[in-house]
Structure 1
Amino acid sequence: MAIGVALMAGAAFATNYSLWINGRTGGGVAGNYADFTYWGPAGTAAGVNKKAVNWDGYSHVSDKNYLVRNALDCFCTGTNWCYIAVHSAGNLQIGYTLAMYGGTSRYKKNATPGSDGSCANSDGTTQTGWNIKWVDVAAGAAGGSELANAGDWALSEPLVSDLKTGTARAMYDHNNTRSKIFYLWAGAKGTLYSGVLPGQDDEAVAYHSAGGISGSGGGSYCNPSDWFCNDLTLGTAAAEGGAAKWSNHTVVFRDDAEAYNHYTNGNWQGTVGLVRTDMVNYAK
């Protein structure tokens, strides 16, 4: 009986969190996990115990990655577990974090962040990597964007140099997700940059990136209705034409109706809205 009570007491302290990592153009205040400025109204449901992992969306991924690691250390160690949701360049942030630091020793933290977003050690013990259930990706930019290549975005932004397709794809081992599954939502309501972005796009990233297609450069991938372009397949299967997806990457939504663009519009819109619904339904 005493053992049963002890186990129940330990379980009571286990908590699940939903972490949201923003993309380009900035998030809320760094270290303030309640600031959902980038996404939309903070009162909107977005998964259990939601936290905004804010970074400036301007600097090099490597320079601001400590903010992501701080959040993972705070909420995804010890008995606590996390669901991760990312948008656009937030995909680069979480992919870089897992590939570069997911095998490192992490102190277990107390999930009570200070003003800088870091947490104190809970008991002085460590673990390898973080407790992550899975990663939801809206309009993922892990494969970069031709808009960065072509100079359609401000070239003074350090992040834009990271978002060049060759740079983004060589930044880290995209196949090394530490066995975490990346679920991908790819939008296709793109018209403004159709001459720059290959295949279907959401006005910021093309299907080769949002769909997790591997390789050193971006290719042209489309919806099945487009006869002049290889199809982006659902699931983990290689795209039409044989190009493989990165390991542990699966396409759960392909925008066949061309109804979703890249932008949140300050109200959880675009493919972010679809990911939010998924987080509400399954991040519990």
Structure 2
Amino acid sequence: MLRICRGVFVLFALSVGVFASATNYTLWINGRTGGGQIGNYDSFTYWGPASTAAGVNKKAVNWDGRSRIADQNHLVREALDCFCTGDNWCYIAAHSAGDLMMGYTLANYGGSTRTKKTPTPNSAGVCSASGAGTQVGWNIKWVSVASGAAGGSELSDVGSWTTSEPLVQDLKTTTARALYNHNATRNIWFYMYAGAAGTVYSGILPGQDDEAVAYHSTGGVSGSSGAGFCNPSDWWCNDLTLGTAANEGGRTKWSYHSVKFRDDNESYNHYANGNWGGIISVVRSDMVNNAR
């Protein structure tokens, strides 16, 4: 009897050890202009003070914010392999072109075989294999998107941003929408947060906007090109609806995309301003409350 009890105890201890090793992380994927040190998951220069709460075990997934999405995508995959494989799970927060980057990652690599890794990156941001084998895709709970640019921006279309920057080519509305299958999220939800504190010079952008990206993109609206969508108070424009419902006028959202926040009071612009500002502040608050 004593031998059996000891065996049960050992099995229990092993199961507790496995359970205890599971960790949740919150990964923040920057947009255009970059700023954080590539390979350093504790470098939050793009967002604001690193001491600011932003979800459980927060990590900054830094890429240069100017190169083509395909050319920098390996950095995102390295981060996902590090922190979102094996027993570990991730919450993802993305801003602006970070939405395009994350959507591209899942559509093209979310069904690939990944080596399970230990979340202890080297100076280049690469983690070593844990010895626990492989898995398909990554362990991701959801993706929260501040001012998503997966639908592109008209500022890129008209050359308001420097056309010598490779990323600007990817951010053209028709290019961004054709870059990958936006419906192929591997059943992972993208929760969209759309800001509306636009300015006069952002009149290039159709409908409501946050100075850089319009509601057709920040709201995850489907289609091969952009269109004007607004808040319900605007009588001259079709409404961007909350949740997954089709928008006024019948235009649908991409699969597994849901508008969680629409800036009805036109209070939030596009920019972090060095202090987790603008529409990013709304996503940060949500991560603090729900990414645990």
Instruction: Calculate the TM-score normalised by the size of structure 2.
Output: 0.96
Provide the rounded CA distance (Å) in 2 between the counterparts of 1:136 and 1:245: 15
Structure-2 residue corresponding to 1:227: 235
Give the number of the structure whose alpha-carbon radius of gyration is greater: 2
* More moved, 83-92 vs 185-194: 185-194
Report the Cα distance in structure 1 between the residues aligned to 2:46 and 2:254, rounded to whole angstroms: 28
One-letter code of the match for 1:218?
A: G
| Residues 3-82 of structure 1: pairs in structure 2 closer than 5 A | 3-82=11-90
- The residue identity in structure 2 corresponding to 1:113 is P
Q: Which SS does the other structure have where 1:79 is aligned?
A: coil
Return the letter of the residue paired with 1:191: T
Q: Is the 8 A contact 2:31 2:98 kept in 1?
A: yes
2:209 is matched with 201
Which of 193, 197, 200 is the matching residue for 1:189? 197
Match runs of 1:100-139 below 5 Å = 100-123=108-131, 125-139=133-147
Q: Measure the CA separation in 2 of the matches of 1:181 and 1:119.
A: 26
Match of 1:217 in 2: 225
Q: Quote the offset at 1:27 in angstroms.
A: 2.8
How much has 1:193 moved relative to structure 2? 3.0
How much does 1:3 deviate? Answer: 2.6
Shift of 1:194: 3.5
**1:173 maps to what in 2?**
181
Partner Cα distance (1:121, 1:154) in 2: 40
Question: Considering only aligned residues, what root-mean-square deviation do their CA atoms show, in Å?
Answer: 0.7
Report the alpha carbon displacement of residue 51 of structure 1 after superposing the two structures with TM.
0.3
Partner Cα separation in structure 2 for residue 215 and residue 193 of structure 1: 25
Tell me how far apart the structure 2 counterparts of residues 36 and 68 of structure 1 sit (CA, whole Å).
15
How far has the Cα of 1:101 moved from its partner?
0.2
- Partner letter of residue 139 of structure 2? N
2:115 counterpart SS class: strand
- Counterpart of 2:167 (choices 156, 159, 175) is 159
- Measured in 2, the distance between the counterparts of 1:69 and 1:93 equals 10
**For 1:137-190, what per-residue CA distance to the aligned partner results, in whole angstroms no more than 9, with x for missing partners?**
000000000000000000000000000000000000000000000011000000
Alpha-carbon separation, structure 2, partners of 1:128 and 1:194: 42
- AA aligned to 1:24 is R
> Distance in 1 between the 2:201 and 2:242 partners?
24
Partners of 2:269 and 2:86 in 1: how far apart?
Answer: 38
- Does the Cα contact within 8 Å between 2:202 and 2:212 map onto a contact in 1? no
Equivalent of residue 91 in structure 1, options 83, 94, 99? 99
Rounded to whole Å, the distance in 2 between the matches of 1:177 and 1:132 is 11
CA shift, 1:195, in A, is 2.3
Decide whether the 8 Å contact of 2:156 with 2:168 is kept in 1: yes
Gapped regions of structure 1 (runs ≥ 5): none
Residue type at the aligned position of 1:95: G
Give the whole-Å Cα distance in 1 for the aligned partners of 2:31 and 2:202: 21
Which amino acid is the alignment partner of residue 210 of structure 2? Answer: D
Shift of 1:6: 1.7
Q: What SS is found at the alignment partner of 1:33?
A: coil
* Paired-residue identity, %: 68
Map Cα deviations across residues 10-59 of structure 1 (whole Å, 9 max, x no partner). Answer: 00100000000000011311000000000000000000000000000000
Separation (CA, whole Å) in 2 of partners of 1:92 and 1:165: 11
- Unaligned 5+ runs, structure 2: 1-7
- Measured in 2, the distance between the counterparts of 1:194 and 1:86 equals 22
SS in 2 for 1:4: helix
2:33 is aligned with what amino acid?
Answer: T
